[in-house]
Amino acid sequence: MSNPRCVPLCFLVIWACFWASGAWAQPIHIRYAVSFHGVSVATQTITIEREPERTILATEFDIPDSSPSGLPAQSESLRVTFRADGTVEQLHSVRIQDGRRSEVIGEIEEEEFLQLIRTDPDGIETQTVARADYDFHSLILYGTAPRDFLPDHRPVRVFCLADGRIHDCEIRSISQAETTRERQHIASLQLTWTCGPHTGRTQHPDRPDRLPSRITRDTPHGPLVFTLHR
C-alpha cells in the first residue's frame, strides 16, 4: 500500500519543478494583504504568465479614500514584460499618490533600448534606458530568489517600474528561520533596501514558489505592509 504522506510531497516536488522551468499553461494568480498600522486597507493582486522566452507580470492595488486607517487614497497598476535575463521589453505603470497621477509607458526598440514616456502633473518626459543601466527591475522579486537577481557589487541599480527611474540602492541581507502554518521551520532571507531617504524590507522564505512572504514599503505617510496569502 502506498504511503499517503508521499502524495503531498510528490505533488510539491512536481509543482516546484514546473515553477522552476516556467512550464505554466495558465497564469498564476497571487494575492497580498495590504495593511497600514495594522489596519487592512486593500488587497494586492499579482498575475504571472511564463512563456518560453519571457515573463509577463502584472500587479495592482487600490486604497480607497474611505479607508478606516486614515491613509489618503492611492493606487498602483503595473504591467511588465521581461526576458529571462531581466531585460524589460514593455512597461505600463499608473500610480496615484497624494492626488498626483503619474503614468509610464515603455517599449524596447530595434536597437535594444527601452524608450520611456513619463507623464505626470509636471509635464511629459522621455528617456532612453539600456539594459546595462540597471541590475534588475523592481518586480523581479515575485517568483525569483534573491540569489538569482542580486549582483555582487554595491550599490545596486534598481529599475523602479512604478516611476520609470533607476535608483541606487544599498541592500543588506540577514539569514533567518521562518515557521510556516504547517509548523515547519524553513530558511528565510530578510533584505533591507535603502534607496535614498526610503528604507523597505522584504522577507524571502526558501520555498518552491520563490515569493516574498512579507514586503514593507516606505511611504510619506508611514510603512505599507504586504503579506502573502497562502
Q: Which of 187, 158, 157 lies closest to 173, judged by CA?
A: 187
pLDDT at 142: 97
Residue 59 amino acid letter: T
Residue 33 amino acid letter: A
pLDDT at 22: 45
- What digits encode the pLDDT tens for the residues 37-47? 999 999 999 99
- The three cell numbers locating residue 63: 486604497
- Name which of 87-91, 177-181, 190-194, 203-207 the model is least confident about: 177-181
Cis peptide before 208 (omega within 30 of 0): no
55, pLDDT greater than 70: yes
Average pLDDT over every residue of 184-198: 93
**pTM of the complete model:** 0.85
- What digits encode the pLDDT tens for the residues 101-150? 999 999 999 888 999 999 999 999 999 999 999 999 999 999 999 999 99
pLDDT band of residue 162 (cuts 50, 70, 90) is very high
Torsion over CA: 152, 156, 162, 163 (sign): negative
pLDDT band of residue 25 (cuts 50, 70, 90) is low
* 3-state SS class at 69: coil
Average pLDDT, the chain: 89
- The three cell numbers locating residue 59: 500587479
Average pLDDT over every residue of 181-202: 91
How many DSSP H helices and E strands does the chain contain? Answer: 2, 15
Beta bridge partners of 168: 157
pLDDT at 13: 44
Between the CA of residue 191 and those of 18, 126, 152, 160, 217, what are the distances in Å?
A: 26, 32, 14, 17, 12
Beta bridge partners of 57: 48, 80
226, pLDDT greater than 90: yes
Q: Which of 106, 72, 63, 59 lies closest to 87, judged by CA?
A: 106
Give backbone dihedrals phi and psi of 106, rounded to 5 degrees, phi first.
Answer: -145, 145
Q: Which of 57, 35, 54 lies closest to 46, judged by CA?
A: 57
